[in-house]
Amino acid sequence: MITYLVRRTALLLASLSLASVVLFLLLRFLPGDPVNALLSVGATDAQIEAARRELGTNEPVAAQFLSWLGDAVTFDLGRSLISNLAVGPEIAARLPVTVPLTLAGFVLAVLIAVPVGFLAAYRAEKWDGPLLNGVAQFGLAVPAFWLGLLLVTIFALNLRVLPAGGFPPAGWSDPAAAATALTLPVVTVALVMSASLIRYVRAATLDVLGSDFLRTARALGSSLPAAMWRHGLRNAAAPVIAVLAIELATTFLGAVVIESVFALPGLGSMLTRAIAQRDYPVIQGVMLVSTFAVLAVGFLGDVAQRVADPRLLRGRS
Amino acid sequence: MKRAWIAVAAASALLLSACGGGGDDTPADSAAQTIDIGSVYEPQNLDNTAGGGQGVTEALNGNVYEGLFRLTDAGTVEPLLATAHTVGEDGLTYTFTLADGVTFHSGKALTSADVKASIERVTAETSRSARKSSLAVIKEIATPDDKTVTVTLSAPSISFVYHLSYVWIVNTAAGDLTTTADGTGPYRLGEWKRGATLSLTRNDAYWGTKAKNAGAVFHYFTDATALNNALLTNAVDIVTSEQSPDALAQFESNPAYKINEGTSTTKLLLAFNDRVAPFDKVPVRKAVSAAIDNAKLLNSIWGEYGTLIGSMVPPGDPWYEDLTAVNAYDVEAAKRLLAEGGVPNGFTFTLDTPNYDPHPTAATFIKSELAKIGVTVEINTITSDEWYTKVYQERDFQATMQEHVNDRDVVWYGNPDFYWGYDNATVADLVKQAEAAKTEAAQADLLKQANKIIAAEAASDWLYLYPQIVVASADLSGYPLNGRNSQFFVYDIVKS
């Protein structure tokens, strides 16, 4: 296990370094000049040159990269080209929106997907199983922002039970208001994410239900719930954990998309704005943090999988 | 299995009931009210000389910061921190006297040194202010005493006082003004929650007439639908500038809201590159202008809102004249003009079109209109970033579309180096003379003359003037309607 952890950690760090290089180069080779976002119509050539000098975008790419990387390892993500505010604290200020949104959306998605997926498999021969499966299939095709707008129309504009968007200025110091503000976004994220999860749970359940070991257990007199508990869950756990890790990462990205629909001050709206303005340090900072989050979740998922099913560990070495 | 179904239903019900309802609150005393304002213009930072963008003007200009003069919502310039000023015989020396009893929010008294430092911030080398070039005419600023500022110009500039209305008088000792503020206005800066809100609280030690409300919160949105939903659910009381024509229908039919159309200064231009063939020929530009039915275009985009303009000058500028009859829609005349311009069978040109609304729609419309006179349009969709590089900096284009937002900007036609390359010595001279004029009446007269020539030569095709639409709750009053140059004075707003 320890060898595995060491190897896996090294891989994590290598992925992160590679990702940072790719991110940096991708942004630099895209067309467009961040200076353009700073100056309005009427700027003189001298003003444009001065702005470029001030931003350091006239330096060679290699020099820009080294200076950025040097700062990044000390957790200094630089300053926004546009606002001149430090990127690190700006990202930290957005996390209290994006992280709860992601985690709550994910947990709710699992809470929806596990019973629904199980029912869809268990009742596969009846009318309601295929119906649930069909609804999940349909859910896969629904764009998150559209679902968000639909929920806003129903619950905010018509029923008036929830706010249409925004986040209270007081943030989490007023937990009830913050939770209320996040309800519709969380439900949107959860519904979209649960659609694909339902299909995994259904497939996994169908596998287990049709497996030899379950049939043997039933034949030996075990009830279905007892057989599922003793044998089914353990066998289904490893693949489900892998899928859950991927889903959590996807939920994070989904949450980022949904933030602008609900006018939430999270990482997503920060990234959208930064991209429109070619604000390199902000884009890099947000992408780096997101990439790190996704890689870290993958890492934890892998470890959890090996804890749940030690055969994987033996199989590797 | 029934139990599982019930569990799912119960969980959903629990979730829904956990989220409390909105509820409406109606404070009795207007002085205790906070006004919630919805906007799509979040400041980039809080300093208007450091690229803060139009959001910082909207939130802070006139509210937190004040200038020597104020540009009112009606477009007139009136004294604010300067109670009086005199101009020397030569038109080069301006002497300003500061109002008494003015203090910054930090408590420090306003002195002439602050004024000098504030103007110098705008003209400094590192300044990113859009007004930097207008103030380049300043030669020297002197402060003979605490109450007096004397500015010497290198050439007469009748617009100088108007330009000063954009200069915030700041306490330069206050520290980093990109994240903090220290002004003299009727509000102090409350808290700026980046990506979400910026709040203002009434300055009870204000030197002038105190604000009629307790404060305001600007709520920022990146999505127009989210912004309108906020108004529909009373999360905001007012939207500073409605950007989406489609959204208006839901407010028009609802007596709880009021739609106000003010005087906009935003012009949608079909800008020709007047340097290159065939747009270097006046008859060709006139032909293209006459072949496009601007009324139909405006109507299809904004319905009943918006105004037609026949020139670069919007109705709010002091030198406005209705020139819509010049190059009016006339397909037969357009065909004749094409022949006169030496291209009787038409020609093909590329229209560089910014990729956001309404440009793609307008470009398609222009293409079909011009097909009627044998002119083929190739639409080239570009990002605003590409526009800035390709069109604005490199002038590598035949024709383009752009919205020009500022007031008093007809003077750009007096500069042959500007991106559209309009070069007429008479116009350049008139613009220069207007700036050196002794009186505002003389200035207006000279700019009217220039504008007539510009319109007659169809330097560009001015498609239409955007509407300036403020939508507010019906019980709200005292808000600015015109939002001139993105200003949004909050101090008179009350809820009944």
pLDDT-derived band at A42 (thresholds 50, 70, 90) equals low
Q: Is the pLDDT of residue B8 over 80?
A: no
**Residue B134 pLDDT level (bands cut at 50, 70, 90):** confident
Chain B residues closer than 8 Å to A152 by CB: 229
Best A36, A132, A147 residue to mutate vs chain B (most B CBs within 10 Å): A36
Average pLDDT score over chain B? 90
In this prediction, residue B18 carries a pLDDT of: 36
Number of Cβ within a 10 Å radius of residue A40: 18
Q: Is the pLDDT of residue B162 over 90?
A: yes
A-chain residues within 8 Å CB-CB of B384?
A: 36
User: What's the confidence (pLDDT) of residue B13?
Assistant: 41
- Rounded to an integer, the average pLDDT of B104-108 is 95
Q: Do A115 and B197 touch (CB under 8 A)?
A: no
Mean pLDDT value of segment B103-124: 95
User: Could you tell me if B1 lies within 8 Å of chain A, comparing CB atoms?
Assistant: yes
The answer to whether B361 faces chain A, any CB pair under 8 Å, is no
Strands B348-354 and B399-404: parallel
Interchain pair B385, A160: CB under 8 A = no
From chain A, the residues in CB contact with B226 under 8 A are 164-165, 260-263
> Do residue B222 and residue A90 have CB atoms under 8 angstroms apart?
no
Q: How far is A169 from chain B (nearest CA, A)?
A: 6
CB-based contact (8 Å) between B195 and chain A?
A: yes
Is a pLDDT exceeding 70 seen at residue B271? yes
Cα end-to-end distance, chain A, whole Å: 10
Cβ distance of A263 and B50 shorter than 8 Å: no
Contacts of B8 in chain A (CB under 8 A): 112, 115-116
B10 in A contact zone (CB under 8 Å) = no
CA distance A241 to chain B (A): 22
Pair B270, B283: CB distance under 8 Å = no
Cα-based distances in Å from B265 to A42, B114, B325, B486: 16, 32, 20, 10
How far the first Cα of chain B sits from its last, in Å, is 56
> Does A260 contact B at CB distance below 8 Å?
yes
CB contact (8 A) between residue B232 and residue A164 = yes
Mean of the per-residue pLDDT values of chain A:
83
Kindly state the average pLDDT of the residues B419-439: 95
Which residue of chain B comes nearest to A90, CA vs CA?
A: B194
Q: Which pLDDT does position B489 carry in this prediction?
A: 96
Give the mean model confidence (pLDDT) for residues B299-317. 92
- Tens digits of residue pLDDT in A259-284: 888 989 999 888 888 887 778 888 88
Q: pLDDT by residue (tens digit) across A99-111?
A: 999 999 999 999 9
B21: Cβ contacts below 8 Å, ≥ 6 apart: A160, A161
Please tell me which residue, A58 or B438, carries the higher pLDDT value: B438
At residue B138, the pLDDT reads 95
Q: How confident is the model at residue A220 (pLDDT cuts 50, 70, 90)?
A: confident
pLDDT tens figures, B319-345: 999 999 999 999 999 999 999 999 999
Q: What is the pTM (predicted TM-score) of this model?
A: 0.84
A258 Cβ under 8 Å from any chain B Cβ: no
Does residue A310 have a cis peptide bond before it, meaning omega lies within 30 degrees of 0? no
Cβ pair B223:A31 closer than 8 A? no
Among residues of chain B, what percentage have pLDDT more than 70?
Answer: 94
Nearest CA of chain B to the CA of A132: how many Å? Answer: 12
B154 touches chain A (CB under 8 A): no
pLDDT(A251) > 70: yes
Q: Which of B411, B315, B359 is nearest to B307 (CA)?
A: B315
Tell me, yes or no, if B17 comes closer than 8 A to chain A by beta carbon: no
Q: Omega before A175 cis (within 30°)?
A: no
Provide the angle, in degrees to the nearest 10, between the axes of the packed helices A233-261 and A144-151: 70
Query: For residue range A152-178, what is the model confidence (pLDDT) as tens digits?
Result: 999 998 998 898 888 888 888 889 999
pLDDT in tens, B357-367: 899 999 999 99
Give the pLDDT score at B3. 42
What is the tens place of the pLDDT at every residue in A185-217?
999 999 988 988 888 888 888 888 888 887 888
Chain A interface, best mutation among B16, B46, B200, B225, by max A CB count within 10 A = B225
pLDDT at B287 over 70: yes
Where does the pLDDT of residue A37 fall: very low under 50, low under 70, confident under 90, or very high at 90 and above?
Answer: low
* B202 confidence band (pLDDT: 50, 70, 90): very high
Say if residues A35 and A48 touch (Cβ distance below 8 Å).
yes
Chain A residues with CB under 8 Å of B194 CB are 85, 90, 93, 265
User: What pLDDT score does B21 carry?
Assistant: 35
The pLDDT-based confidence of B140 (bands split at 50, 70, 90) is very high
Q: Provide the percentage of residues in chain A whose pLDDT is more than 90.
A: 15
